[in-house]
Amino acid sequence: MSRTTITYRQGDTSKFYYQACEKLSDSGWKEIGSGNYGSVWEHPDCDTVLKVGVHDNDNDGWLDYARSCAKTRSPHAPRIEAIEIHPEFYYAELERLQPLPRDRYQAEGLERHGYAGCIQTPSLRAYVRRTERLRRNSTHGPDYHEGNFMVRPTTGEIVCTDPWY
């Protein structure tokens, strides 16, 4: 009996997504971050950034989270200027944020992944609780890790950017 090697090739995931990224790269955009479901791009003439994400039609973790962000004034929600949904991928124009340093992530109590009770800042704790409540009524799983919290450079506030998959 032989062992079977199964390979997943990224290029097959979403042709449209990769075409969109190629277009951005050809017109002066630079990738500044990426995750399992998308990438984030900057342009020298733009204060905001552009997220390009692969989406699963009506059941996408980030798009559903983004819809919930439109209904809150919490400073811990990212400011999303616009979203353009195409078949298989979307563009979202977002405020530009900075990475959350690891020591601050830990000091805030965020490394306990979704255990909102451990979060030190009351407004962030309340926001993560709200986010969890909404998630439990959805089909999404929790995706709390260091890369999914960022900092708003103008105020130093922690922003929860991508908590659901």
Residue closer to Mg ion by CB (options 131, 148) is: 148
Does residue 37 bind ligand ADP (CB under 6 A)? yes
Distance of CA 118 to the CA centre of its chain: 22
Mark residues 145-164: x for contact with ligand ADP by CB under 6 A, - for none: --xx-x----------xx--
Report 19-58 residues binding Mg ion (CB under 5 A).
35
Spatial distance between the Cα atoms of 128 and 159, rounded to a whole number of angstroms? 10
Nearer to Mg ion, 64 or 162 (CB): 162
Distances (CA, A) of 165 to 46, 51, 54, 55, 148: 28, 16, 12, 11, 11
Using CA atoms, how far residue 102 sits from 105, 118, 126, in Å, is 5, 16, 21
Q: Nearest approach, Cβ of 145 to Mg ion (angstroms)?
A: 8
Q: How far is CA 42 from CA 49, 83, 140, in A?
A: 5, 16, 28
Nearer to ligand ADP, 47 or 103 (CB): 47
Query: Which residue lies nearer to Mg ion by CB, 29 or 162?
Result: 162
From candidates 14, 88, 96, 108, binder to ligand ADP by CB under 6 A: 96
Of residues 20, 24, 66, 97, which one binds ligand ADP by CB under 6 A? Answer: 97
Q: Which does 107 bind (CB under 5 to 8 A by kind): Mg ion, ligand ADP, none?
A: none
Three-state DSSP at 35 gives coil
Residue 109 binds: one of ligand ADP, Mg ion, none (C-beta under 5 to 8 A by kind): none
- Note whether 142 binds ligand ADP by CB under 6 A: no
Rounded to whole angstroms, how far apart are CA atoms 155 and 58? 34
Contact between residue 16 and residue 24 where contact means Cβ atoms under 8 Å apart: no
Sites of contact with Mg ion (CB under 5 A): 35, 148, 162
